[in-house]
Amino acid sequence: MTPLTEHFSLEELTKVGSHAGIDNTPAPELAGSLLRVAQKLEQARAIWACPVLISYGYRCKALNDAVGSHDTSAHLLALAADAVPTNLTLREAFDALVADPSFCEDVDQLIIERGCVHIGLAIPAHGNVPRHELRLDQDVNGVRTYPLMGFWTAQGVQHA
C-alpha cells in the first residue's frame, strides 16, 4: 500500500470496483489533488468518529464512463471521493459534515448519493472556488438527477 495519509492510501483512492481491466493509474500531476482529497477524508473521519470506506476516488475517463458519470465530474481531476462511514447513516454523516464550518469552507459539493457521501473539492472550471452546494441524488423516471438542496454558509444552510 502507498499511504497518502494515516488512514487512506493511493490504492483506496484509485480502485476500480467491479470494473476490472480498467487502468486507473493517475497522472503524476494529480498527486497533489489526491493528497488534498485524502486529507479531507481524514477530516471527515474525525468528524464521524468512525472508519470510512471509499467507493471511488479518482476515476480516469474510461472508469468514469463505465460508472455512468458526467464528463464534468470532480473525480476525473482527483478532487472527489465517495465515502461511506461505517457507523452512521448517510444522512447523519452528511448532516455532521454540514454542521462543521472548518470542513465545509473548502468543499465544492456534498451529495448524498447511492450508498455514499460524495465529497468534492473546488475544480478549475469554477475558478477553484468552492460553490458549497448541498445535493441529493435522486432517480427521476430512471434518470439520475442531483437537485440542489441548498448551500452551506458560515451562518448555516441556505435552502434552494
Give me the average pLDDT of each 10-residue run along the chain (160 residues).
97 96 97 98 98 98 95 97 98 97 96 96 94 95 92 91
pLDDT score recorded for residue 12: 97
pLDDT score recorded for residue 144: 87
Query: 16: which residues sit within 8 A by CB, 6+ positions away?
Result: 22, 24, 63
pTM of the model: 0.96
Specify the CATH number for 12-159; select among 3.40.50.2300, 2.40.70.10, 3.30.1380.10, 3.20.20.70.
Answer: 3.30.1380.10
pLDDT score recorded for residue 156: 87
- Three-state SS string over the chain comes to CCECCCCCECCHHHCCCCCCCCCCCCCHHHHHHHHHHHHHHHHHHHHHCCCEEEEECCCCHHHHHHCCCCCCCHHHHCCEEEEEECCCCHHHHHHHHHCCHHHHCCEEEEEEECCEEEEEECCHHHCCCCCCEEEECEEECCEEECCEEEEEECCEEEEC
